[in-house]
Structure 1
Amino acid sequence: MKTLFFFFTSLFIHFNSMAQTKVAGEYRLAGIHDMAAGFTLTEQGTFEFFYVYGAVDRFAQGTYTVDGKTIKLKSSKEAGKDFSITKQSKIGKGYTIKVVAPNPMLAQYVKAIVFKGQEKSVEFVNKKGELHLNDGHIDRIYLQHELFPDIASKIKSETNHNNYFEVGLNPSLEKVSFKGVDFTLDNDTLTCLPNYFMPFENIRFVKH
């Protein structure tokens, strides 16, 4: 039984390695005005990614696997960890979130995804990076940066009864996790559906 297991495991690794050899190369974003982005996929199953749009630069690196025409990326970034709670307590009424950042401009571009039961709402911090919600009870609160969007970070769960949160921005903010974002390879072109990172249609990375 062990011999059979190792045989099929070796066979899978062999075919995946062959597939990686075929897809390896450099791919550049096409058709999006004022935006530059690209992938480098290696024959060893690793990738690097860069993205430049206005004043926002982002990057990622990690590994990838090939499943038919689907390219699955596994970034070195852990998703949902862009914000860290630096202080929390129970003070007064309602809920308050304060974003603290060395660059005050970055603190302005944060949105809160708020859940009361199954009801969902989206709120935005002010120019000071602060948000106050007058709700009597909130179950969960997630934060996501508008300039560096990725999987939202949970700062309040159902079991956390605090209502005041100070949060900081983590260095991972500039990276991209690619969690839940799969690519399809067809005719030397990588495509994907609109997502939290690139929320637009016709996303195409063409092989060079």
Structure 2
Amino acid sequence: MNSLRVSALHLLVTAACMLAPPAHAEEATAVAGSYCLQGVHEVGSCIRLSPDGKFEYFLAYGAYDETAEGTWRVADGAVIATTPAYDKRPTFSFKRMQASEAGAYDVIVEAQNGQPIAGVDVGVTCDGVTKSAGVTQAGGFAVDCKSAPSAISLGLGMFSIAPQSIDVAAPADNNKAYVFGLTAGDLGKKRFADVPLRVDGDALEMTYTDTPITELQGLSFRYVRER
């Protein structure tokens, strides 16, 4: 009789263990939701943890924006976030010459949709020297060169993208605007390589690193769950 009771109890315990969800699954369900950054001046950022183990992230600081998508899991009291490597570097390429608005040498950088891009760092080799020419605006960007540039460098210091130098030929007619295209690659993507976000009640905390924005490097970020 005792052996039968023990066997029955063993079966009940085994069945309960099989039916009960794993502890980490319960933790993940409890943690899933949308969280937004609080307490960091002029920075907007949110993280959405989906119940299926995927996450979305964005951060905006002035003219700087970054996003990420990846997977997450719970381990040792923290959300561990992981993304692809995001190692496709942006590249610039010469597209065409066109008439400039003011008749001076201009530099225009276009996105893949043909819209001009502001904020691209420009350097030129002309008049026997190589020099910085400033940053592109929303439209034409006049370059201080008396003679036609022999090379133009383009970079994105905001994203820690070093200048790329491109040799250019002198214009064969009166067109003085050099138009370049930008292939974005993974520009503006934030990599998470098993980054821990500590769970603190209804908040997630992480140290913000690997950023070109020096004033944000190493800051403690606290994301609070949205209600």
Using structure 1 for the length normalisation, give the TM-score: 0.54
Deviation at 1:42, TM superposition (A): 1.6
Unaligned runs of 5+ in 2: 1-17, 95-107, 111-115, 123-131, 136-151, 167-180
Q: Counterpart of 1:147? A: 158
Structure 1, unpaired ranges of 5+: 1-9, 88-99, 110-124, 132-142, 154-163
Q: Look at both structures and tell me which one has the larger radius of gyration over its CA atoms.
A: 2
C-alpha displacement at 1:107, in angstroms?
Answer: 3.2
Residue 201 of structure 2, aligned match among 184, 187, 191: 187
User: Do residues 57 (structure 1) and 65 (structure 2) align?
Assistant: yes
Q: Helix, strand or coil: the match of 2:187?
A: helix
In structure 1, give the amino acid aligned to 2:198.
T
Identity of aligned residues (%): 23
Task: Give the match's secondary structure for 1:174.
Answer: coil
Partner of 1:170: 184
* Secondary structure at the counterpart of residue 172 of structure 1: coil
Asked if 1 retains the 8 angstrom alpha-carbon contact of 2:204 and 2:222, the reply is yes
Q: Aligned equivalents of 1:185 and 1:126: distance in 2? A: 47
* Cα deviation, residue 174, structure 1: 2.2
- Whether 2:96 is the aligned partner of 1:73: answer no
Shift of the alpha carbon at 1:101? 4.8
Q: 2:38 aligns with which of 14, 30, 46?
A: 30
1:207 lines up with 2:222 in the alignment: no
- The range that moved more, 100-109 or 43-52, is 100-109
Deviation at 1:39, TM superposition (A): 0.7
Distance in 2 separating the partners of 1:58 and 1:16: 30
For 1:204, give the aligned amino acid: R
- The runs of at least 4 aligned residues of structure 1 exceeding 6 Å deviation read none
Aligned length: 146
